[in-house]
Amino acid sequence: MQLQRLLSYTRKAVDEYQMIEEGDHIAVGISGGKDSLTLLYALHGLQRFYPKHFKISAVTVNLGFEDFDLSPIQQLCAEMKIPYKIVTTDIYNILFQVRKEKNPCSLCAKMRKGALNETIRGMGCNKVAYAHHKDDIIETMLLSLIYEGRFYSFSPKTYLDRMDLTVIRPIMFVDEVEVIGFQHKYDLPVVKSKCPVDGYTKRQYAKELVRQLNEENPGVRERLFHAILDGNIAGWPERVPHVR
């Protein structure tokens, strides 16, 4: 995927769900993976021509893994002239050494988001961008159907009133396969996850299920995505048609 195509997808999401307003200071959550680095490129590129002016800062929550070298991302942010902050936590030790959690993902996400939100509010940011792409949205919907019995997926834009912070997902129209292509084309400095349960989660199960369904029923993946967009899910903002 070319940068121009990524910027087109991002502009579409930002415009249709009114994700960015004049004067916003957006924190980009950087995990070190391909998705968050693609998001960083997307917002950095959009910043150059978007009619509403906004600032970007990048933030990584270090869960406390050993040998988690973030210097390649520090270098990238320096080249882009984007302020970058690393938040050091003891989340890994709490989850795996103290509590010995067998299914740590939900609690880990809650603790990680808590540390992230507290930090970015202290930085003066009013919005935080998460790197959820199209496949994440579809997989979340399937997980909700299978394990909760409800039709749901996370919203493109959510206001957290307790934090006075708005969450946005600007690469929601980007396919994961295109993110992978972008990663290779632009040689993104991916820092591999140190999580011991990476790849062994319910989300991985949902990812494989979508792949199987789409192989057996070509086009079902896109139909699932459009069902979500048109599904009037509670909490989703009104969608404004994208006009260029």
- The pLDDT tens digits for 153-190 are 999 999 999 889 999 999 999 999 999 999 999 999 99
pTM of the model: 0.92
Indicate whether 224 belongs to any domain. Answer: no
Q: What confidence score (pLDDT) does residue 6 get?
A: 98
Nearest CA-CA partner of 34 in 135, 152, 112, 108: 135
Indicate whether 33 belongs to any domain. Answer: yes
Select the more confidently predicted residue: 74 or 115: 74
Indicate whether 149 belongs to any domain. Answer: no
Q: Is 168 within 8 Å of 157 (Cβ atoms)?
A: yes
- pLDDT tens, position by position, 35-55: 999 999 999 999 999 999 999
- pLDDT tens, position by position, 77-90: 999 999 999 998 88
- CATH number of the domain that residue 33 is part of: 3.40.50.620
Sheet with 84-88, edge to edge strand ranges:
84-88, 54-62, 24-29, 127-129, 165-168, 157-160
Indicate whether 174 belongs to any domain. Answer: yes
DSSP string computed for 190-225: ------TTTT-SHHHHHHHHHHHHHHHSTTHHHHHH
Indicate whether 164 belongs to any domain. Answer: yes
Report helix angle 176-185 to 134-148, nearest 10.
140
Select the more confidently predicted residue: 23 or 200: 23
Indicate whether 15 belongs to any domain. Answer: yes
- pLDDT tens, position by position, 60-70: 998 877 778 89
Instruction: Report the C-alpha gap between 88 and 6 in whole angstroms.
Output: 31
Summary mean pLDDT of the chain = 91
Q: Is 74 within 8 Å of 40 (Cβ atoms)?
A: no
